[in-house]
Structure 1
Amino acid sequence: MSNIIRSVLQQDVALAPSTTLDPITLPTNPLSHILITLRALNDTASLADYRFLIAFLNFISNLEVQFKGHVIIGGNLRDLAILNAVLTGFRPVQSNALHTNSDTRAVTFMISFSRVPFWREEAFPAVRSGELSLNITSAAAQTGLTGVTIQVETVELIGVTPARFLKYTTQQRTLPSTGNNDIDLPIGNAILGILVFGTTVPTGASFNATAGAMRILIDNVESDYANLNWETAHGEIGRRITSLHDWTGHVHSFVDAAAGEALTRQQQLIAEGMENYAYLDFDPLKDMSYALLTEGKSRVQLRVNADVADLLRIVPVELFNVSGLARAGGAVGR
């Protein structure tokens, strides 16, 4: 019979802007997921400074889980929070999301080693003390927040021997030109999905996007995604994240302001984070039946047809076998 242990590793630790915390040693038992809670006070004497969620998402510029110095999970909080919502269905839940100046606020984010948190088969395996650590660096001060503190909690699975875990690290590059740009993907493990961040997305009167279209190449042959438009790839993320209201504020425009009653048009979401993301899904059923298999391949690439040559980030999600970790002597980095 298995059990869980919930632990608090960091309790209300001050997290000043542009600061790197001392490495946080993670537990030795199999680890299902990490929960990061950011707390802050509103700095909203001017109502225009209020941000619903994006200020929290942007406050951590780098978060890494390292095993023996090799990065297992790595990226900024915004990318990782959205990716974990896609993978697990866990959307950030915010307390006291009001704009009142100096009011408390808090929001929790999940960093998971599994597609299904608490799953006995999928978690980071048991380690020796000090081998697994969490490293966090904050970004510059964010408009609308002050006095940020952090809580870090973990969920360990007791009495289990997981067979696999998720590994996802960020690749970032500024595309050198418009047109086709090839980005190498990791090989050796099954890829379950790729989160894509593009700096430029359709807005105003322009449909241009950093990743205007995408396709997958395996040893120079098209595979799985022969061609995918940005608009569709972004729109399809809604199959994985069903409610955008958890990520952004919204506005209503008034049609009638008669006394005692107001008729409004359909609410419009404020562009605060989700609009820059798309997801290439190779595991829609969460059963590996459509996984992108890379073992034995010479080269696997994401080809991006760029309308605009600017910053692109991708976060491939690999399914890593625990037996492979043992054979590699813990070397999981590339």
Structure 2
Amino acid sequence: MATREACGKALAELIVENEKIVVLDADLTKSTKTIEAKKACPKRHFNMGIAEGNMMGVAAGLAASGKIVYASSFAMFASGRAYEQIRNSICYSNLNVKICATHAGISVGEDGASHQCNEDIGLMRVIPNMKVFQPCDAIETKAIIKAISEIEGPCYVRLGRSKVEDVFDESYRFEYGKGRIIRKGKKVCIIASGMMVQEAMKVGELLGKEGIEPTIVNIATIKPIDEKLLIEMAKTHEYIVTCEEHSIINGLGSAVCEVLAPYRLCKVIRIGIEDVFGESGSTAELFDKYGLSADKIAESIIRLL
């Protein structure tokens, strides 16, 4: 299941369970899957049209009136077009607006560079009061969407268009601000977020054939990031490799480096989108071209070692 689909299902449950929940969408109800919330409770779902800035302003007003507002659009529009309203109307006042941004990263594929938002994590995590999340599968997505209804202040959840394999089972419990070790190894620690967690797990299998057993860590909360876990990984590994479907500028890799730079404990290598725009193509083709496929990541780690 795609994480955007899981988000829609979670919102449909939340809007029935909590009468404070209001869902807004910017004319992409079917694509973002907030249509599920509309079906469950049409009186508290509002299509704001192609007016993302206005949607965020309305979200701020509703939140200031005591509502918990989930506002959704594509990542390109949610983080880009509405940036000023998010900063000044939502974050400055520390309001309960939860931005669920779908179709993030180059996995949007054939839609091309205009819709492939590789900058949104950086835009959002730099704003004071904003919390940033990126779940890796449907189960983690549902848990995060529900958890942020109880986290005070603005939140940004980065979601994908493509279907992804499950990493976790129903026993999974989300811990705010905590990373999770998926596989324990030695020497190399791969830190990933979103659908790159699945790629990292494939990398682990490929490296295992070469006699390399990497540790794999899932970071679902990018801000505030799990500093304690990162420092522990840096102390117990020679190399940390960050993998993200985002620009290496001000994304997950940058966040990890910001934590570890003062300690100089190990070498950190960032794998992600270089300082370039994407292009049209299938997800598999683009992941391979930009070095995000399991094969390409494994090659990079083998060269590093």
Q: Do Structure 1 and Structure 2 share a fold, with TM-score over 0.5?
A: no
* Structure with greater helix share of residues: 2
**Highest RCO, 1 vs 2 (Cα 8 Å, sep ≥ 6):** 1
* Structure with greater strand share of residues: 1
